[in-house]
Amino acid sequence: MTNSITVVDYFLPGEEITDIKSKERQTIIGPGLQRDKNKPNSLVVTQAGRLHFRAPNTYWIENRKTRYVPKRGDLVVGIITKKSGDVLKVDIGSAELANLSTLAFEGATKKMKPEVEIGDIVYAKLLNAYKDMEPELVCVDQYYKAGPLGVLTNDGFLINVNLKLVYFLLNVSNPLLGTLTKKFPYEIVIGLNGKVWMKANKAKDILTMCRVFEASENHSEKSISDTCRGQK
């Protein structure tokens, strides 16, 4: 399915795309594109970035943005910035701080509160995200089990990467994490909001990871894959 993605060109907001190659006159459009009602066979670009096309009929724009817009169901990494009563305020990189109830941890009750300090890092799921409300996080799934969610330990490190790299890293077939695995053991938590928490045995291993992510931020998936293949 992923074999025929083509990168068309760089577009700026307001530009029109007229040469649509969709079959059967049906087009699926992704982020950064909008339909032009007056002109039936053209699209208007709303975000700056490279236009991607996947046969037979999918179009979307990819760019290197770092600002995260919350979406329901996303798994994100956040920093606890405030504690007020039962609610924790979490910085997930969005316009507003997200709410996380202290009851939304596994095994937590009114009396048994989880041990969370200000400045701790949590891995959580977005329960809801509306544009007029603060986003809400939970650290349990629908069966009240934590699974991978919860507070992350403080002996790791946190970095911010752009969202494009996040999507690339979350793709199971990406070669970057595999290449790193061959060098040293590590733990990594990738939030869809661009925050990445990682932990390794040695500090220099973590620094290597930081540098790898920083260097690969500005490259296409193909060149990263090529570089990784050269490593073996």
Which one-letter DSSP state was computed for residue 147? T
Give CA separation, 45 vs 35, 49, 142, in Å: 9, 9, 38
- How far apart are CB 205 and other proteins at their closest, in Å? 8
Does 151 bind other proteins (CB under 8 A)? Our answer is no
DSSP letter at 93 equals: S
The answer to whether residue 177 forms part of the interface with other proteins (CB under 8 A) is no
Question: Residue written as tokens 């179009």?
Answer: 59
Nearer of residues 59 and 123 to other proteins, judged by Cβ: 123
**Is the bond into 56 cis (omega within 30 degrees of 0)?**
yes
Instruction: List binders of other proteins among 212-231 (CB under 8 A).
Output: 212, 215-216, 218-219, 223-224, 227-228, 230-231
Distance (Å, whole) CA 171 – CA 168 = 5
Residues 39-98 that bind other proteins (CB under 8 A): 79-81, 91
Q: Is 133 in the site for other proteins (CB under 8 A)?
A: no
Q: How far is the CB of 226 from other proteins (least distance, A)?
A: 9
| CB-nearer residue toward other proteins: 34 or 181 | 181
Question: Which one of residues 8, 29, 103, 210 is an interface residue with other proteins (CB under 8 A)?
Answer: 210
**201 forms part of the interface with other proteins (CB under 8 A):** no
Q: Residue 134, interface with other proteins (CB under 8 A)?
A: no
Query: Which long-range contacts does 83-92 make (Cβ < 8 Å, 24+ apart)?
Result: 83/116, 83/118, 88/116, 90/122, 90/124, 90/137, 92/68, 92/135, 92/137, 92/191, 92/193, 92/195
Task: Confirm or reject binding of residue 118 to other proteins (CB under 8 A).
Answer: yes
Please name the amino acid found at residue 45. Answer: V
Q: State which residue, 131 or 182, has the beta carbon closest to other proteins.
A: 182
Pick from 57, 134, 157, 167 the residue near other proteins by CB under 8 A. 157
The angle at the Cα of 83, spanning 82 to 85, to the nearest 5 degrees, equals: 145
Query: Shortest CA distance to 166 belongs to which of 189, 194, 188?
Result: 194
- The residues of the shown chain that bind other proteins, judged by CB under 8 A, are 79-81, 91, 117-121, 152-158, 179-180, 183-184, 197, 203-208, 210-212, 215-216, 218-219, 223-224, 227-228, 230-231
